[in-house]
Structure 1
Amino acid sequence: MSGVDKPTDPAALRAEIATTRAELGHTIEALAAKTDVKARAQDAAGQVTGAAREKLGAVRNQAADLTGAVADKASSAAATVRHAVRDADLPAMVRRPVPLAALVLGTVAVGLAIYLLRRRRS
């Protein structure tokens, strides 16, 4: 401020002083914020955390999409294999492995029962 534009009216002087005080207050607040290392670090950490959460959400969505696509392809491949096995000229036990597995499991269970009974008697 130069000497030429100084107001001479007391009300104008008070208004200019109030404006200068307000500007000075804003400047001091800005300087204090810059020197508050803890607050700046917390602010930066909050920004990084927010960015990481956004990235995590995007990755989760992408993984969910890929999982759905893989599941669709797997079920399609399984259906193709089922049709190929059903249409192939194979024995019934091979075409339907569930009865074969049940037969094997039953045989193992009977064998285990006999083993345990003999062990208990001796």
Structure 2
Amino acid sequence: MSDKNGSSSAAKPDPAALRAEIAQTRADLGETVQALAAKADVKARAKDQVEQTKQKVKAQASEAVNNAKGAAVAATEKVRAAAGQARGAVGGAVESATEDDRVREVKTRVRENQVPVAAVFAGVCALVGIILILRGRRR
């Protein structure tokens, strides 16, 4: 590396190469500082977490609504099929029932089975609870 009088045995590095290396080191250091600052920003991380949770709840609510609609359609089809079978078995008695009566029956069954509505309500309550908890931690 160096001999006894302090002179370097290797050729001195090119000043332009040193400047380029220093510039690269500064850029790397700047990226590292930005990454550390992002990890230290608890407020921004909490906001990101809340946003992710909101998106999950929205997706779950949308899925629950779609499932409820699908269940309502399936229930309608089952009611129609059962009505058709009953019409065949009973004869003219079921034929006297109007379409409005069957629609009312389906609506009543959907109103009695409130599980999809309760699931959406529970998801919204969970979202509000998470937001309140995260806001309380900031203070």
Which TM class, normalised by the smaller chain length?
0.5 to 0.7
The whole-number CA distance in structure 1 between the counterparts of 2:97 and 2:31 is 81
1:106 aligned partner? none
Structure 1: state its 5+ residue gaps: 1-6, 89-94, 99-122
Structure 2: state its 5+ residue gaps: 1-11, 99-139
CA 1:60 to 1:96, structure 2 compared with 1: closer, same or farther past 3 Å? closer
Matched, 1:69 2:77: no
The whole-number CA distance in structure 2 between the counterparts of 1:97 and 1:13 is 93
1:49 aligned partner? 54
23, 30, 34: which one aligns with 1:29: 34
C-alpha deviation, 1:96, in angstroms: 4.9
Q: Which amino acid aligns with 2:76?
A: A
SS of the residue corresponding to residue 13 of structure 2 reads coil
In the TM superposition, 1:9-20 aligns within 5 A as 9-20=14-25
The whole-number CA distance in structure 2 between the counterparts of 1:97 and 1:63 is 27
The whole-number CA distance in structure 1 between the counterparts of 2:21 and 2:28 is 10
Bigger-Rg structure (1/2): 1
2:119 aligned partner? none
C-alpha deviation, 1:77, in angstroms: 2.0
C-alpha deviation, 1:80, in angstroms: 3.2
Matched, 1:60 2:69: no
Normalised by the length of structure 2, the TM-score is 0.53
Matched, 1:38 2:54: no
Normalised by the length of structure 1, the TM-score is 0.60
In the TM superposition, 1:42-121 aligns within 5 A as 42-87=47-92, 96=96
CA 1:97 to 1:27, structure 2 compared with 1: closer, same or farther past 3 Å? closer
C-alpha deviation, 1:83, in angstroms: 4.2
Instruction: Give the root-mean-square deviation of aligned CA atoms.
Output: 2.4
